[in-house]
Amino acid sequence: MFKFPIYLSAGQEYISASIAEVMKELNVQPNIFIQHRGHSTYLAFDAPIERLIDELLGRKSGCANGMGGSASIQSKEKNIFGHDGLMGSQVPIAVGHCYQTQHPTIVYMGDASAEEDYVLGALGWASTKRLPILFVVEDNNLSILTEKKVRRNWNMHNVAEAFNMQGLDIEDDPAQIKQALVSVFEKPMLVNINTHRKFWHSGAGIDDENIFDRYQEQMDILGHEASQIHEQTKQMVEQIWQKQLEKQ
Ligand SMILES: Cc1ncc(C[n+]2csc(CCOP(=O)(O)OP(=O)(O)O)c2C)c(N)n1
Ligand SMILES: [Mg+2]
């Protein structure tokens, strides 16, 4: 059904879901720059699901006119800028855009994209100009299959601090995320959020069936109400998929 690679956010959804809630509370509509694994951000910020489905089906009615695929989704309605495919490029682009607009801006990057040289230069400029920008590192510990410990001996929140900016290292727990963002946009800030990718880098395969099952763990903690929400959401998404497929 899908004619190109799909980058799923499953397992990492708490990050964007929590940040989107904080933005609602602050009544801020930020400009948002995402990278290839952006479905969760697109959906959390209420961009239209039908247009995401159409994009995955390669249709002109898709959110990137059927030309972006999973990796380059965007939403003009929600100020979500899609990715060009070059790891980390969204960071200098977001910084330049924020410098020009001075509008609250969120830029997402993976823990590997954060290692690109042009990301570091952009962090320095954002700090120097005290831009209203939030850098979010979705740290799933992986660059495709290579773990962080093989790639580097330093941490991204320390890099932010070296650039004279607030840098935090937290878990993808909604309460921790909310707490981290108390003074968001008053000055530039980087939050490295440790998270867990459920599936392969691309596609819905699983390397090891025995890895920790985030969903089951959370359902056990959150209880009956969460199961109801899960079921309702699943039904809703299946119905929308059905409707979009019937359009063909
Ligand atoms: C400059 C550049 N180098 C390499 C690649 C190939 N590539 C695509 S995604 C990826 C890993 C990205 O890891 P990360 O930024 O941590 O995001 P994640 O996939 O873990 O969400 C690589 C190496 C690329 N797209 N661009
Ligand atoms: Mg990663």
Type of residue at 163: F
Residue from 46, 48, 35 nearest 9 by CA: 35
In the prediction, which pLDDT does 114 show?
98
Bridging pattern class, strands 105-110 and 31-33: parallel
Q: Tell me what percent of the residues of the chain surpass a pLDDT of 70.
A: 98
For the 13-212 domain, the top CATH level (class) is alpha beta
pLDDT in tens, 70-129: 999 999 999 999 999 999 999 999 999 999 999 999 999 999 999 999 999 999 999 999
pLDDT band of residue 210 (cuts 50, 70, 90) is low
DSSP 61: T
Does residue 170 carry a pLDDT above 70? yes
Count of alpha carbons within 13 angstroms of residue 223, beta-carbon side: 1
How many whole angstroms from its chain centre is CA 167? 18
**Could you tell me which residues come within 8 angstroms of residue 150 by beta carbon, excluding any fewer than 6 positions away?**
none
Pocket test for ligand 1, best of 13, 39, 108, 143 (most atoms within 8 A of CB): 143
List the beta bridge partners of residue 169: 192
Write down the pTM of the prediction. Answer: 0.97
Report, as an integer, the average pLDDT of 3-28. 96
Strand partners, 31: 105
Any atom of ligand 1 within 6 Å of the Cβ of 85: yes
Residue where the block lists tokens 């763990």: 217
What lies within 8 Å, CB to CB, of 232 at 6+ separation is none
